[in-house]
């Protein structure tokens, strides 16, 4: 199932996307009001099945504004250098000459999340080196700590597309300011929907692409991940509890802008499309912060 959050007129709701329509969970008596509330529910599958079977009101996708599919419950957990091609292209900047032996984790502010169609807003007074990173995002649906890799998918609700927008001039200040460089407002587009784990499984073999103004910049598959989804969840949950609504960004493949010759960065007016096969296209225009 594809689960989306949206605004129709002045009302916000969530539902299941089928074809070119999205259903309205608000029509179900007692339904969780948001996807976050759905994930906190012990009856996730019951509500999804009820919505699929109820013949609830639907809207054409052209008549609604898709929002970020959920508001993360806390800062996003992100992985750096999790594709061999990205390790190779960033060796000079990161001093990482070989694939890491364990996941490299950092945080990204929940306040940076925006939805499909929303503007990535640049502030030239703060950064002039804004880069793109298409990533597969994992949405946690079940609480757990010290999760074994073989049980990891039991804790996954689904997957969505992320663009880990990064201010490189901030990220590499003073030996490394990853949280600062990746957490500016609007620097984490998510969407367009969450595809549930029963459809995607362990997410192997998914093709990721990113285009700027129609020109392909990144093109890879999740088979190139250094650490696969079960290993990532096992590492992230070691000694800490994951909660429903937590979001994990799993790293980006090669093709980012700052490693190109000459370097390329996003400019006002650019249109960025991050796409993952079987999940969808996340499209955002770049603008200037007022």
Distance CA 123, CA 240 (A): 35
246 and 119 within one domain: yes
Structural domain containing residue 255? 76-288
155 and 131 within one domain: yes
Q: What would the mean pLDDT of 216-240 be, rounded to a whole number?
A: 98
CATH number where 263 lies: 3.90.850.10
135 and 45 within one domain: no
204 and 109 within one domain: yes
Half-sphere exposure of 52 (CA within 13 A, CB side): 12
Cβ atoms 184, 223 nearer than 8 A? no
pLDDT digits (tens, 9 = 90+) for 20-46: 999 999 989 999 999 999 999 999 999
98 and 26 within one domain: no
- Given a cut of 90, whether residue 56 has pLDDT beyond it is no
pLDDT digits (tens, 9 = 90+) for 117-136: 999 999 999 999 999 999 99
102 and 19 within one domain: no
Residue 145's pLDDT is 98
273 and 255 within one domain: yes
48 and 95 within one domain: no
pLDDT digits (tens, 9 = 90+) for 243-262: 999 999 999 999 999 999 99
Tokens of 99: 């694939």
Q: How far is CA 167 from CA 36, 110, 173, 188, 285, in A?
A: 29, 16, 10, 12, 16
pLDDT digits (tens, 9 = 90+) for 168-189: 999 999 878 999 999 999 999 9
115 and 44 within one domain: no
247 and 114 within one domain: yes
277 and 167 within one domain: yes
Q: What is the DSSP letter of 68?
A: -
How many helices (H) and strands (E) in the chain?
A: 8, 21
In the chain, the number of structural domains is: 2
């Amino acid at each position: 199932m594809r689960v989306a959050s949206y605004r129709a007129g002045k009302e916000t709701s969530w539902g299941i996307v089928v074809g070119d329509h999205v259903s309205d969970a608000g029509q179900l008596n007692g339904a969780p009001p948001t996807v976050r509330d759905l994930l906190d529910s012990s009856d996730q599958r019951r509500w999804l099945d009820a919505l699929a079977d109820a013949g609830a009101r639907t809207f054409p996708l052209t008549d609604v504004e898709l929002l970020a599919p959920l508001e993360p419950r806390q800062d996003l957990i992100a992985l750096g250098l999790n594709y061999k091609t990205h390790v190779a292209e960033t060796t000079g900047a990161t001093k990482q000459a070989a694939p890491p032996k364990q996941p490299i984790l950092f945080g990204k502010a929940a306040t940076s999340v925006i939805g499909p169609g929303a503007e990535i807003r640049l502030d030239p007074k703060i950064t002039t080196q804004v880069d793109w990173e298409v990533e597969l995002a994992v949405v946690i649906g079940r609480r757990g700590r010290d999760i074994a890799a073989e049980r990891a998918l039991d804790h996954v609700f689904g997957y969505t597309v992320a663009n880990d927008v990064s201010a490189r001039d901030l990220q590499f200040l003073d030996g490394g300011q990853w949280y600062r460089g990746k957490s500016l407002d609007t620097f984490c587009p998510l969407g367009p929907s969450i595809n549930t784990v029963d459809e995607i499984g362990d997410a192997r073999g998914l093709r990721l692409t990113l285009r700027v103004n129609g020109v392909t910049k990144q093109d890879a598959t999740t088979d190139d991940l250094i650490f696969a989804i079960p290993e990532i969840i096992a590492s992230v949950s070691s000694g800490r509890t994951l909660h429903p609504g937590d979001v994990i960004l799993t790293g980006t493949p090669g093709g980012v802008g700052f490693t190109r010759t000459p370097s390329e960065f996003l400019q006002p007016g650019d249109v960025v499309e991050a796409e993952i096969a079987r999940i969808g296209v996340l499209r955002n225009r770049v603008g200037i912060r007022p």
